[in-house]
Structure 1
């Protein structure tokens, strides 16, 4: 879809089997993902961060496999083995892609499933389950040619019907992933057309140049292909725990809260540049570890090879550890104090603003994260640099005296409430309690298990909690689900007509400058209405022992198919 401001978006440039780096970077910008451009560079043979400084156009697509490696092929002696991984959470409750609302859960699921397309580390878009595609109708229609001979982990053949089933299920069940497909025509009105077993066409209501980004296995996640046969046989609850996909690893067993065992998919279609079948590992054993010091100690002792996430307060410990590398990329997130407006006194905007002004973000970050974060004045993060501003409204800026006066005027001085938390976020909750109690409030910390936390949070059974968007680099993705009146993650029950309309308006704006202005107007409104007291933006930090090779660090993603272990 050529435009005056985006001449790269021609049908030829957007068609497959590979989109070059220049066009993909433009797509990322149009989708609001431009902050990834500086984070994704050429391949690296070791588990270290990449800086995106190679400057190549990345036109080579390798052999076309989903896991085509851009890292050095490991020696045969390094292939095989089991990666012992720690996940910084109390449990991994669901791995059913459209239902996932926790970034750490999708980091696992992306190793079990595939999308229609995916991103290389050098920012080229290439086929995943699609081997090729053609963009027509000025960008509103995409026809995918699918890979033949691909099977799900249960042996079922993958066909175009699985694409239709996946998209229909995602939309009709109103899953958290459904909003990413909101511009698709109704599924039964030519939205998804199965041409034959290995050809499927998606028709959008209007030209949608960034659609391919939203269909990736990486940042898009709107069409992560699930197995209809397995879901019908197992039922959704069991499928959520032990799902069946087409990805490099399959679930061997899952004891929720204790251990998830993944085994190599022997039939996986992905290969590296030399034609070696991926993944290199025999398997991955994932253990939930919710206590910050425990996950770092496990790395240092060699009990685990890899940690998906390092608490910011432990970053310096990892940096100084022997035989451990810190993996760091800019974070695409925001965190805030969520205040449940269904509970008193949080239905009163003046109370929420009074609480926000009683919070010293810099002191909170120093206490909770040892300074390893930046203060958030609003929800739009710095990685989405095209819409980021340094001069955001200061409505929520720290002024304890003013905040306490606002609470007194609203009759909420001395109010009692709790902060719901898990063990992994206990330090943050305690730091918040200390600040709020210093402002005359009576605040307690309520620690529960991860499973209980998410059940209660989603049901609105809490007073306050520290939460936010942890893996949605597009502003739409991190705002639409949280602040639409019917948003699937609107667990603070924020009901605002103006915000609702601004969210819809920015989705219709293909001109980036117009969309930027709308998003900034929306952010101004959110700052003043205080559905959250905005706290911080955090870098995406993981860690691995030096014997881990071939890890590709894409912000908030944890792909393991090219990982190998050296002795």
Structure 2
């Protein structure tokens, strides 16, 4: 984008602080072009190739919530991102481009953002998109205390001009202090605050119905959603984006998405052609995908972290010494080999290698595998022979089994409690568990993967389901947000990571590769890490 129109220097500073090195070029039609298709194809389909439906399998037991600020499960947002738009969005190289905003300005101190919005944009119900919808979206997110609200903690209150509608197509956001990752949070993504919702539809349908069958401005509209059975998306004929040749997007007539929680079933459906696309490849089946005729593996760096989550409100996990003993009893490399077939990077900290501006190979070794030291710490904590459960669903069962094997070897009495996907998330979010394997997904900035997890549970830590309360971590998270100089922010983030490693809110395990797959007949799909956007996709033959 050319945006900001006036103060490009400050925007570049903000992007630099967030580790994003450039702004994407403004494409008059709306950015459908320029991303590269990620599958070797270029250009657009011929007239005869447009249309048709994509059949997609989602590696989960169900798709429950599609209302953006209330989504805490990454796979749900991979669907919702095809239904909604943000003020800005990400390209394949994680540079920023405009989405509903055509350009923007940023004040010298990085606290005020003024967005010039596209005109003529429609919601799926036919209502017009205006600056009032931006204000409504943000106000709703904050007033209803949705998980995404914590991302806007430093936004001034609406009564204090936090969001100012200048006219129908100009909106101003005012923060109380500089906000380094602000533009990242205004993209489409899970738990992000400016994925624009439709006030008219929410008021007519009611909030609960909207969570299942929402209305957005994206390339596809939800025409059917049976929780546990699937989601039907149909092309939105009034979608605002075009390709580089001025052709209307999306190319597809629609997408039929079916949850498939069994790994073998998902991969066999892809190999046989029963589905055209798998949003995730079960890692034990990656080799089968590699060897299958007519199937292509899609691989991108993982912008995530996973750890062994220990509920600190249950014994013995309230003890930092016990948690460290458990962390040192886990052989991360053996765990990755057993649970993920080597398709992950073992690590003892949460900052991933894809965010290379802040990544380090030489992280503190406190959580490094050392079974003798682990036994000593566990004994000192009085946690020898502790009995507990690992909560899991079908999709994570292999990891739970690999973890149980290691911890039983370390002298614990560990059992697995397998539940459905919906029950898993309900129990995890309400603290009804002992331990589980979980983490952060789809986060191109470290703030996204740390803020909601490690702020105090009653002060921004809406995903702090391990119940970790630590003032230093809380303060460092706030400090890194205001650092507009990338080197300064890097130092704060690394100090924060050092502290988290020592305090062990999670026993950090690895960063999982982002692996999807498609039939060779599927063209035009751009594999942005974590995202599954189909607006430029078509199916040959």
Range into which the TM-score falls when normalised by the shorter chain: over 0.9
Distance 2:355 2:188 in 1: 20
Say whether the 8 Å CA contact 2:70–2:191 is kept in structure 1.
no
C-alpha displacement at 1:180, in angstroms?
Answer: 2.4
Question: Match of 2:516?
Answer: 542
Gaps of 5+ in 2: 36-41
Distance 1:208 1:525 in 2: 22
C-alpha displacement at 1:434, in angstroms?
Answer: 0.7
Question: Match of 1:30?
Answer: 17
Question: Match of 2:526?
Answer: 552
Say whether the 8 Å CA contact 1:32–1:475 is kept in structure 2.
no
SS of 2:135's equivalent in the other structure is helix
Distance 1:121 1:403 in 2: 42
Alignment pair present for 1:166 and 2:166: no
C-alpha displacement at 1:257, in angstroms?
Answer: 1.2
Matches within 5 A, 1:66-465: 67-68=32-33, 70=35, 71-121=42-92, 125-136=96-107, 138-208=109-179, 210-217=181-188, 221-465=192-436
SS of 1:494's equivalent in the other structure is coil
**Greater mean alpha carbon deviation, residues 193-202 or residues 133-142:** 133-142
**Structure 1 residues 103-162: Cα deviation after superposition (integer angstroms, max 9, x where no partner):** 111111110001112234466643322233333455433322222222211122211111
Distance 2:92 2:6 in 1: 16
C-alpha displacement at 1:225, in angstroms?
Answer: 0.4
Alignment pair present for 1:532 and 2:532: no
C-alpha displacement at 1:214, in angstroms?
Answer: 2.7
Aligned pairs, number: 532
SS of 2:192's equivalent in the other structure is coil
Distance 1:489 1:385, change over 3 A: same
**Greater mean alpha carbon deviation, residues 451-460 or residues 75-84:** 75-84
C-alpha displacement at 1:369, in angstroms?
Answer: 1.2
SS of 1:77's equivalent in the other structure is helix
C-alpha displacement at 1:76, in angstroms?
Answer: 1.2
Distance 1:112 1:262 in 2: 8
Distance 1:124 1:515 in 2: 19
Distance 1:130 1:58, change over 3 A: closer
Say whether the 8 Å CA contact 2:69–2:190 is kept in structure 1.
no
**Structure 1 residues 171-212: Cα deviation after superposition (integer angstroms, max 9, x where no partner):** 222222123223322222111111222222222224446533
**Structure 1 residues 321-363: Cα deviation after superposition (integer angstroms, max 9, x where no partner):** 1111111111111101000001111111111111111111111
**Structure 1 residues 246-291: Cα deviation after superposition (integer angstroms, max 9, x where no partner):** 1100001111111110011111111111111111000000011112
Distance 1:533 1:175, change over 3 A: same
Distance 1:102 1:58 in 2: 28
SS of 2:147's equivalent in the other structure is coil
Matches within 5 A, 1:497-536: 497-536=471-510
C-alpha displacement at 1:312, in angstroms?
Answer: 2.4
Q: TM-score, normalised by structure 2?
A: 0.93
Supply the RMSD in Å over aligned alpha carbons: 2.3
Say whether the 8 Å CA contact 1:291–1:423 is kept in structure 2.
yes
Distance 1:311 1:154, change over 3 A: same
Say whether the 8 Å CA contact 1:213–1:219 is kept in structure 2.
no
Say whether the 8 Å CA contact 2:219–2:236 is kept in structure 1.
yes
